[in-house]
Chain A
Amino acid sequence: MKTPDSYGSYGSYGSYGSYGSYADYATGEPIADAKAPTGPIAERWDTRRFEAKLVNPANRRKHTVIVVGTGLAGGSAGATLAEQGYHVVQFCYQDSPRRAHSIAAQGGINAAKNYRNDGDSVHRLFYDTVKGGDFRARESNVHRLAQISVEIIDQCVAQGVPFAREYGGLLDTRSFGGVQVSRTFYARGQTGQQLLLGAYQALSRQIAAGNVELHPRTEMLDVIVVDGRARGIVARDLITGKIETYFADAVVLASGGYGNVFYLSTNAMNSNATAVWRAHRRGAYFANPCFTQIHPTCIPRTGDHQSKLTLMSESLRNDGRIWVPKAKGDDRPPNKIPEDERDYYLERVYPSFGNLVPRDIASRAAKNVCDEGRGVGPGGQGVYLDFADAIQRMGRKAVEAKYGNLFDMYARITDEDPYSVPMRIYPAVHYTMGGLWVDYDLQTTVPGLFAVGEANFSDHGANRLGASALMQGLADGYFVLPSTINDYLARNPLGDEVDAGHPVVREVLDETEGRIARLLAVDGDRTPDSFHRELGEVMWEFCGMARTEEGLRKALDRIPQIREEFWRRIKVPGVGEEFNQSLEKANRIVDYLELAELMCLDALHRAESCGGHFREESQTPDGEAERRDEQFSYAAAWEFTGTGEAPTLHKEDLVFEYVHPTQRSYA
């Protein structure tokens, strides 16, 4: 480990050493989930709730819980904890809790209500989710998720969430993502927005009642761990730039996923990994960081100015046909390419599923044809999604009724009329299944530090099913965490009061302030965005849809170099004690530059293909992902040892008692 200059005194900050060889990352003790009860899976959640200790209602007010983030998981957790009587101190970087990125989810939320009488059940949702996650999720957690899914719908309806209804006044559902039952509840294409507003309103009610102390435009920059327990956070007021400490009896991270490591993703511009990465540096293990989901139907980028990507509902694949020209570099307009010179590659390769193959297969196939030089549009990074046949078959009216708003969105962004010219689509990073390792109680390896929603790794395994993200966020926030956190608080009586004068607190604060000071002091010649873009390109190229040992090693060489250059050439204008968006951005990139390395290492060590993680070395003769259960049926929980130091791997063995692993096949 090199220490570049005098700033090295701020912990391990600013070091940018590089891994020598990946063969020798350390493997530590296996890790196990000690909280999930044994016994029949359907009874485990009840058992756990019964075994958990409770906090006397009269004492709850004396407990302060910090919640970071106000999305579906954080908003619902904050509201529910406050309803129970806890004193909640909540943070979001946005100007209002209502803007958390859960708001952008379009499709819907799954629940095993079986309102359609089509054979759905809790067990079937459990089964589909474990299988969809390609057997890399924990059975106990997934079953609990399926059980709770039912209560979520009840809760949201009671809050006034305007789900789509039928003429009889009952809730409408649809089938989603190739699932054979109709279990997805939705509110047009804005389900995430409506569910988030429900949670936001519940939270608002608690803010008004004085039970939640909200700090908007305040970004968490570190966790305070005293005597092995999470006791608070360090956060920066984004308006004044003041860095302050906040103390609590437990800290809940609901800060979302880390898709923005890739620079271009469907995440919001300011979604970031700082909270989880800081927690990781303070001792929380990070699990399965390489499991990222890439969504096949996004609008392609138009040039280097592109700042983010926009997703279009994958329902488009129900009627649209995907193709590219047969010849390389064929730059005729699509309407001029005759039928026999088009390659409907999904229909050709996967005759039984055709255009409806799962997300990862569709994404990878698009990448392959583009890599062959047959991609269309600017930079050859796109494939056609053609509705000409659908319009002919169903009539323009019917297509308009079904997809009108998506077509409008596409037309607005691209200025092309999708009714007359085929749409162009390309895959984009969409969701990260990996996250902080948590036990059945959603507690990380740091006692008192919990992680909910996309910030944890728990329920989706290696691949998330459509309409399951909203379900998990709300299950964690409304129902799981408020039950399990009781147990922690009840078993850990209030310890010594921690305040700003505590030496540990002083140290954490100094480190944070030092990092900010250092970012401002470099005064180099490159903007934060230029580094973020460069990192994103490396990640997309080598840790994107298809990964190889060779590529990952290249990335692992490259990332420390970028990190070193970052600390040498970054330019952040202005000062720390003001509203400074460049500083916010640069500070987030610091963490991306470390997390990216762990993602690549995790991808490298997992020499199998599963779910969203495709290793080219591990595929069946016909090019399908090949899982290697004997070697990799575990969750990889990484322990931080220092920037640029080889982390320690702790394996959590996955046991499948109810759903037996099978190799999926879509050919």
Chain B
Amino acid sequence: MGTIRITTCSFMLSLLLVGNAQAAWTLNLTPGVTEISRSVYNLHMTIFWICVAIGVVVFSIMFWSIFHHRKSRGAKAHNFHEHTLVEVIWTLIPLGILVAMAVPATATLIKMYDPSDAELDVQITGYQWKWRYQYLDQEIDFFSNLSTPREQISNEAQKQAHYLLEVDRHLVLPTDTKIRLLLTANDVIHSWWVPALAVKKDAIPGFINEAWTRIEEPGIYRGQCAELCGVDHGFMPVVVEAVPPAEFEQWLADARAQQDAAAAAAGRSWTLEELMTEGEQVYQRVCAACHQPNGTGMPPAFPALVNSPVVLGDVERHIDIVLNGVQGSAMQAFREQLSAAELAAVITYERNAWGNNTGEAVAPSRIVQLLQGDGQSEQEGGQ
């Protein structure tokens, strides 16, 4: 009954306001693809229509007065005032409506706060300005970056359908499975939001938040970071790809194979050209947001790499900065974000692009050595 009413209402609303069902834009909240998102949508529509009803009554009385009780129509002021009973009634009625609203809202909230019996745990970490997804028991770990080309953002190319809502790697999740999401952040506060799942939770550095979802329909669901997190806050979308459980198993296997291949790539030897080609891709994907596609940076926050003393100077220092970041600055540690081959490639690229012609190539094996050796050196430092 309630559902029917709400559907009719939303239909009327769409007739009233949209007019054209084929329009690409929407006016209302999405009902989404989970049980929770549907109850959120129903709550939203109920409270909306309550507000409309109250508004119609209050504004009708007001406009009745405006039309009929105007001085130019000869209206004389009736000097009545104060009527405690009326005032008590118009206080109690809203109170009653609020209590009626609070009941379903509380029930929905309690459901949202129950992540028990989850079958899959995914840790989501916000970075400036990308998301990291770790499937805790499956040992899969990757970053998800905006994949919209810079030319589209700067209006030099036609914008595609999923402009700013597309990433290089989707968060792939199985349908009909209760998934627990553990949210945290590496630097500032981010907020992970997918409207179709009705999940929005802040990712806070140093703390872990919990949320859960159970997606009912396969599909691709897009969202964005919702908490201002710095310059590229508008450029860190979330893309969830929901697939049937069988397909998800297949994806897990492929993803693991891909991780192994990346590790193997670091073991073989690379030519300077190979490193430069790979490095340019990595640079544009990961570094260009701050240091700019042409390496000129945005000083003082993001230093230029062209003619930079770090880039032209000692290679070990350059590697150290890329791997471990710079404490107290916006420069992140990339050791976990990129594979050894990617790290070697991007450092090589920076040292040889835009007129930084050092001619030096950094071998991926050197990076592997450093990544593995670091544990030892830390222990030595501790002794």
A and B from one assembly?
Answer: no
Q: Which residues of B contact A (CB under 8 A)?
A: none
Q: Which residues of A contact B (CB under 8 A)?
A: none
